Amino acid sequence: LNHMEEEAANLPWWQNIYSLPNNDIAAFKTYSLGDLQLIPSITSFARKIGKPALDEEFGIPQSIGDATFNGGNGILGIQTSRAQFYQDVYTAGASVGVQGFVFWDLGCDLRSDSYQVNPQTPATWQVVEQHGPDISKTKNTEESLC
């Protein structure tokens, strides 16, 4: 789910969806400062209803800067580099019990509007490697990705 911060007290739409009996997880996306700030509320609600919380997609375009924030107004309230935003997502989620993370997206594209993470975006790549599984024993190593 995305845009969860747009709920109203009289319409707690994401809580209603998470509470559905055949919905086994509380999955959400993180693409803005508002999304990042809502993670504690989401995980708290997920615990309350006995379901795991999963940040099933997060990312920010390359234009914001890999290791250093490019300045300006930022994007959707984010005024940090991509690497720092990714670190913030992992840290915020881990601190409140998010049980899984899926970043968007792995690939070799280098463009300002691309969300792809790869060895050519080294600061963000390093954060993903730090928080992800050890891929050194697979054929999807850094050298074979791009």
**Cα–Cα nearest to 109, from 95, 97, 99, 124:** 124
**Cα–Cα nearest to 86, from 51, 123, 136, 54:** 123
- Measured CA to CA, the distance from residue 106 to residue 52 in angstroms comes to 24
- Measured CA to CA, the distance from residue 6 to residue 71 in angstroms comes to 27
| The predicted structure's pLDDT at residue 73 | 87
| The predicted structure's pLDDT at residue 81 | 97
| The predicted structure's pLDDT at residue 14 | 82
| The predicted structure's pLDDT at residue 16 | 86
* Residue stretches of the chain with pLDDT short of 70: 1-12, 135-144
